[in-house]
Amino acid sequence: MDGFERSSSDPQKAGKGMPALTAAIANLKGGVGKSTTTVMLADGLAYFYGMTVLIIDLDPQANSSQMLLTERGVQQASDQGKGAHQLLGEFMAGRPANAAPFIMPNAVTLEELRIAEEQDERLGWISILPSHPQLRLREMGLEEEWYTRAGTPTTLSTALAAYFKSAFAPLGSLYDVILLDCPPHLSPLARAGLSVSDVFITPTIADSVCTWGTKQFSEWVSKFVAPDLPERNFVLITRFRDTRYARQVESDLREIYLKDRWFGPTIPESVHVLNAMDRAAPDSYDTFRGKYGGVRGDVRRLAERFTDFMSQRTGATWQKIRD
């Protein structure tokens, strides 16, 4: 496994003491629900299994950061010197690789997790290395500088991957799962993110356009990053509208095109989820039931299925702490 080693911090909980699993949430196609999947999965793993989750948002659109921290929170984080763009600045300045100072330790939106923490009984937690729109400008600046010195996109992504590996290494002892929210293209930054990941979560939508994008992504990753992609790939059909056409595409994805992959539950299109991803304020909290309403069963199944996938990859087992 390529992930970051973690030490045994809580022997009572099965799965602790195992190497942290790093999962890239990625697809070439935009708008397939990568950020929503990242947040739902983080909430599900923290809530049902008490996992300590770190989200690393490498997408300059900063949507998962926005969903967890709000727009104001993203800006406040940047003002405090936190964020992936700051880490990229460290790389550009040639400073030592260490992501820890740029992480927002609290990205929890669920009331149950907040209350448990308040009572000194942490039962699941979420932190984030947030993104910021500045990340796009900084990445462009880096690319210009790199290519002026006769570098190439491949050498840049290799250098970034090595830097990230060092920068994220100490985090393995603090978190159970690291979710890397990748941008919907193959920039050097995105490629570096993919290169340091153990597994790949591919959200997609049951239509022909997304199926095509998923195929391209799958082929690229298989060729350049993970020849053993099928066994490291967790596919999730999102924003599912229950029509005959969508059912047919979903079936084709599961039974034909990606039949050698792990599949999560199909997540229905939901207004409730859209609302849930629009946090009212940085100090706003909601119960799991209030946040996810009618799709809370889907979030639970997502967490269960992904935990099974993790167990299969790591050999560890995880016990549910909430129903």
Partner 1 sequence: MAEDPGLSAVEYIDRFFDELRTEIRSNPKLAAKLVKALGGNVVFADEAKADISSPYALASGPKQRFYSVYGALKAPEIKKVLKQHNLATTVDMNGKTPAQLVDMLYERASAKVGERRSSAF
Nearer to partner 1, 109 or 218 (CB): 109
> Exposed, middle or buried, 15 (CB in 10 Å: 0-12/13-18/19+)?
buried
Q: Distance between CA atoms of 56 and 293, rounded to whole angstroms?
A: 26
φ/ψ of residue 54, rounded to 5: -115, 130
Nearer to partner 1, 287 or 312 (CB): 287
Considering the complex, what minimum distance in angstroms separates the CB of residue 71 from partner 1?
A: 4
Nearer to partner 1, 75 or 106 (CB): 75
Do the beta carbons of residue 161 and residue 196 sit within 8 Å? Answer: yes
Considering the complex, what minimum distance in angstroms separates the CB of residue 85 from partner 1?
A: 18
Considering the complex, what minimum distance in angstroms separates the CB of residue 111 from partner 1?
A: 5
Q: Summarize as ranges the residues that interact with partner 1 (CB under 8 A).
A: 70-72, 75, 111, 275, 278, 280-281, 284-287, 290-291
Nearer to partner 1, 261 or 296 (CB): 296
Nearer to partner 1, 256 or 271 (CB): 271
Nearer to partner 1, 275 or 319 (CB): 275
Considering the complex, what minimum distance in angstroms separates the CB of residue 279 from partner 1?
A: 9
Maximum Cα interatomic distance, the chain, rounded to a whole number of Å: 55
Report how many helices (DSSP H) and strands (DSSP E) the chain contains, helices first: 13, 7
- Sheet-wide strand order for 199-205: 125-129, 52-57, 177-181, 21-25, 199-205, 233-238, 262-263
Q: Distance between CA atoms of 142 and 253, rounded to whole angstroms?
A: 38
Considering the complex, what minimum distance in angstroms separates the CB of residue 207 from partner 1?
A: 28
Do the beta carbons of residue 296 and residue 270 sit within 8 Å? Answer: no
Considering the complex, what minimum distance in angstroms separates the CB of residue 234 from partner 1?
A: 30
